[in-house]
Amino acid sequence: MSNPHPLVSIVIPSYNQGRFIRETIASCLSQDYRPLEILVLDGASKDDTVAVLKSFDAAELQWWSEPDGGVVDAVNKGLARAQGAILTIQSSDDVFLPGAITAMVAALQAAPEAGLVYGDVELIDADSQLIGADVQGDFDFCAYLGRLQYIPQPGTCFTRAAYAETGVWRDTVSYAADADFWMRIASRFPVLHVARCVARYRYHDEQRDTQRARIARDWTQAVNDLIASNLLTPRQRRYARMGNQLVRHRYAAPQNWMERTRALYAAALANPPGLLDARFPKRELLPGRDPIWRQLSRLKRSLGFRPRVG
């Protein structure tokens, strides 16, 4: 990038997130990077979202509140209106940490061939209390396809060139639209990792990721479409097929241990070297391990044994 300070566009899809969106927007406006634009695409919220949006007096903030077709439609509307050379999509319940945009822009400028950069994230609850952190490490496309690592949605930036070549979010995989978008970029451009926390991801009861079966379905469809595109190497295809089984394991109901174990064996058969990765969930390869363990734990508690601490 020839411009040392390219415009950064922050697209925020929103619907009935009035209790969180003020913190989201404030975290954008408090960034030490300029120039930036903040585009909020609200789907005609019925809570106090519009009142919150009206309360901001910032030239960098633009917002629209009108009916839409859901989060994918809102994101695509925002991307179409964005003017930045670098873009990011921030959920209306998540927040950027100070210095996040500066760090990610610097990484992209240091590697002009890259299409996407992400950082690590802190985890917060509905009351913005810190409950943990998620450190992913350097990007490995095979590991991503294989469900051994992921790209945190709240802490990413991508280039306009990557967006132009990759295309829009796809409604046909709406419950995995962000992951589908990242994997399509990663199949065409290098992906960078910034070794610092750049955002906070919020856990609360109203999230879309409670839709377990739909997430697994759409991830699998996205991966199968990518395999069919012939953009993947043979090794990447093996990891992708393993990932399709690991997503079955990840989103199967906790009590359905047989399905979870079958999915793990299918993952191992799809890509045997994946078993050597420490991130492969080997614990449930032992059939019935989890229900037996829970029964033993209940028995120990009934006999008066206290759980170990530390």
pLDDT tens digits along 173-184: 999 999 999 999
Structure confidence at residue 4 (pLDDT): 83
Chain-centroid distance of CA 27 in Å reads 18
Could you tell me the pLDDT band of residue 301, with boundaries at 50, 70 and 90?
Answer: low
Total count of domains within the chain: 2
pLDDT digits (tens, 9 = 90+) for 5-15: 999 999 999 99
Q: Are strands 95-96 and 191-202 parallel, antiparallel or unpaired?
A: antiparallel
Q: Is residue 299 part of a domain?
A: no
pLDDT digits (tens, 9 = 90+) for 115-144: 999 999 999 999 999 999 999 889 999 999
Do 199 and 109 lie in a common domain?
A: yes
Query: Whole-number mean pLDDT of the chain?
Result: 92
Q: What are phi and psi of 61, to 5 degrees?
A: -100, 125
Structure confidence at residue 294 (pLDDT): 60
Q: Is residue 226 part of a domain?
A: no
Which two three-digit tokens encode residue 273? 């070297």
The mean pLDDT of 71-100, rounded to a whole number, is: 98
Could you tell me the pLDDT band of residue 24, with boundaries at 50, 70 and 90?
Answer: very high
Do 278 and 240 lie in a common domain?
A: yes
The mean pLDDT of 214-229, rounded to a whole number, is: 97
Could you tell me the pLDDT band of residue 286, with boundaries at 50, 70 and 90?
Answer: confident
Do 73 and 112 lie in a common domain?
A: yes
pLDDT digits (tens, 9 = 90+) for 139-173: 999 999 999 999 999 999 999 999 999 999 999 99
Do 77 and 156 lie in a common domain?
A: yes
Closest CA to 168 of 73, 36, 65: 73
Closest CA to 146 of 299, 63, 249: 249
Q: Is residue 180 part of a domain?
A: yes
Distance between the two ends of the chain, CA-based, in angstroms?
A: 49
Is residue 289 predicted with pLDDT exceeding 80?
no
Whole-angstrom Cα distance, residue 133 to residue 201?
Answer: 9
Q: Is residue 103 part of a domain?
A: yes
**Residue 276 sits in which domain range?**
233-293
The mean pLDDT of 241-261, rounded to a whole number, is: 92
Closest CA to 3 of 118, 84, 96: 84
Q: Is residue 25 part of a domain?
A: yes
What CATH number did the domain enclosing 58 receive?
3.90.550.10
Closest CA to 141 of 113, 195, 179: 179
Do 167 and 270 lie in a common domain?
A: no
The mean pLDDT of 237-252, rounded to a whole number, is: 96
Structure confidence at residue 308 (pLDDT): 52
Q: Judge contact between 115 and 162, C-beta under 8 A.
A: yes
Q: Is residue 227 part of a domain?
A: no
Do 120 and 156 lie in a common domain?
A: yes
Is residue 93 predicted with pLDDT exceeding 60?
yes
Q: Is residue 303 part of a domain?
A: no
Which pTM was predicted?
0.90
Could you tell me the pLDDT band of residue 309, with boundaries at 50, 70 and 90?
Answer: very low
Residues contacting 81, CB < 8 A, separation 6+:
39, 62
Do 22 and 96 lie in a common domain?
A: yes
DSSP 87: E
Q: Is residue 279 part of a domain?
A: yes
Residue with the larger pLDDT of the pair 283 and 190: 190
